[in-house]
Amino acid sequence: MANSVSQRDSFSGKYGFIAAAAGSAIGLGNIWKFPYITGVYGGSAFIIVYLICILLIGLPVMLSEISVGRRAQKGVFGAYKTLAPGTPWFFSGYMGIAAAFLILSFYGVVAGWTMEYVVKALAGSFTGKNPDQISAMFGDFIGQTARPIFWQVGFMALTCFIVIAGIKNGIEKYSKILMPVLLVILLMLCLRSVTLDGASKGFEFLFKPDFSKLSGEAILAAMGHAFFSLSLGMGTLVTYGSYLKKTESLAPLAGQITIADTVIALLAGIAIFPAVFAFGIEPAAGPGLVFVTLPNVFAQMPLGNIFCILFFSLLAIAALTSSISILEVVVAHLVEDFKVSRKTATLMMTLVITLFGIPSALSFGSLSDLSIFGLNFFDLADHIASNFLLPLGGLCISLFVGWKMARKDVADELSNSGAVKIAYLPVFLFLARIVAPIAIATVFLHGLKII
Ligand code: PFF
């Protein structure tokens, strides 16, 4: 399949790319993780820092990734090797691949939870239950051994199946239909949530900033999440960019993906926090927030069970369009750089990543006492990848585009060899050369309590 430049798959066009890249960006990070870390780090001040990170760091890093991928026509490791042969830049490609490995190991676990919840909703398990019972159901489920692993394996098998088939037709078509549906459902949930009694406290929590709650750790988390949510720092968009036609203008694409991802995250916050406060649930409920709060909201809605089924199905599907993109990073490396067949590479990596994810699946049950640097296995994998490897990967790519690549090559790629105007080039280069690297390095060192 796509193991040489001439046979390389490409997206059918601009919309195909946007759907797939937005499909990668919009996932559990937006609907599951963003609300809960916002809760943990105290609400609106965290969101403001997050938005600043998106603008000053996320956007230039995204544009850098897409340009590097399209220029090199290779995944992350091969792209560095092609554009900077004989230099150590390819190490950064390895970091990206390691991040993909770690992220998918725990991402598959949470995606598995969403599948269990589809089944629970189909069985009407939430109907007539009070908030305490719904909360206990979640704790009971993730504390088990076989069931979370069963669903993790099921989800990873689905991911594997699609990646084996190649990225073009499946992902593209499927993302184009499912992403708008996700938006419609989310808007309906927002409507229900904001019309609950006591919803206004949720709005205050989301939009009335209290900067006194902001710690260095919160700023590091905001930046780590900007990378995670936009699928940056590990080469997903390098890889997807390598499948993009040379005629597409890159900056508008990066802008559209960023806006779509941010709007969906904010909508998820609006769907969840007013309901959290209306039901008197603790906003800092952690990873269980979506799995406990939303079933409560549905239990109070007319036709709530149908919404519940739809919501968790779409969450699972949003997770799938993201997990495919993560697996693709690792698979593209084996296919391009080791000439392994796509099928063998995909099967092998799925197996290894799934096995590695099992301790994460058990982190809330039989391995809950296992603590490494004060974190369970699940949180440790997330922490190392999101707060360490992704920002470092982002730092490398922006330095690469800002300082290593020749300015004329960057301009050539962004302008499609002079076909489109790139008046923004000086601003982009300033962000990629100076602002993003300094911001990433500062936040990073501050978060690690080094400065
Ligand atoms: N962006 C995805 C989400 O928000 O769920 C997760 C993700 C995908 C992270 C791809 C990193 C990545 F490279």
Q: Does 393 sit in the ligand 1 pocket, CB within 6 Å? A: no
Ligand 1 atom closest to the CA of 230, numbered from 1: 1
Ligand 1 atom closest to the CA of 232, numbered from 1: 13
Q: Does 354 sit in the ligand 1 pocket, CB within 6 Å? A: no
Q: Which of 407, 243, 261, 273 is nearest to 335 (CA)?
A: 243
Do 247 and 418 meet the contact criterion of CB atoms below 8 Å apart?
A: no
Q: Which of 363, 374, 369 is nearest to 110 (CA)?
A: 363
Dist. CA 230 → ligand 1 center (Å): 6
Do 49 and 218 meet the contact criterion of CB atoms below 8 Å apart?
A: yes
Dist. CA 41 → ligand 1 center (Å): 20
Q: Which pLDDT tens digit goes with each residue over 176-206?
A: 777 787 888 889 889 888 888 888 998 888 8
Q: Does 237 sit in the ligand 1 pocket, CB within 6 Å? A: no
Q: Which amino acid is at 196?
A: L
Ligand 1 atom closest to the CA of 234, numbered from 1: 13
Q: Does 262 sit in the ligand 1 pocket, CB within 6 Å? A: no
Ligand 1 atom closest to the CA of 28, numbered from 1: 5
Nearest CA to ligand 1 atom 13: 231
Tell me what pLDDT residue 1 has: 39
Tell me what pLDDT residue 2 has: 41
Q: Does 228 sit in the ligand 1 pocket, CB within 6 Å? A: yes
pTM of the model: 0.90
Q: Does 231 sit in the ligand 1 pocket, CB within 6 Å? A: yes
Candidate from 65, 159, 228, 257 with most ligand 1 atoms within 8 A of CB, to mutate: 228
| Number of Cβ atoms within 10 Å of the Cβ of 347 | 15
Ligand 1 atom closest to the CA of 32, numbered from 1: 5
Q: Does 103 sit in the ligand 1 pocket, CB within 6 Å? A: yes
Tell me what pLDDT residue 284 has: 65
Q: Does 258 sit in the ligand 1 pocket, CB within 6 Å? A: no
Q: Which pLDDT tens digit goes with each residue over 284-310?
A: 667 777 898 888 878 877 778 887 898
Question: What residue has token string 């099921």?
Answer: 154
The answer for residues whose C-beta is within 8 angstroms of residue 373's C-beta and 6 or more apart is 380
Q: Does 325 sit in the ligand 1 pocket, CB within 6 Å? A: yes
Tell me what pLDDT residue 6 has: 45
The H or E element that residue 318 is part of is helix 304-338
| Number of Cβ atoms within 10 Å of the Cβ of 316 | 21
Nearest CA to ligand 1 atom 7: 231
The whole-angstrom separation of Cα 221 and Cα 33 is 11
Name residues of the chain where pLDDT drops below 50.
1-6
Phi-psi region of 433 (alpha: psi -120 to 50; beta: other; left: phi over 0): alpha
3-state secondary structure 97-138: HHHHHHHHHHHHHHHHHHHHHHHHHHCCCCCCCCHHHHHHHH
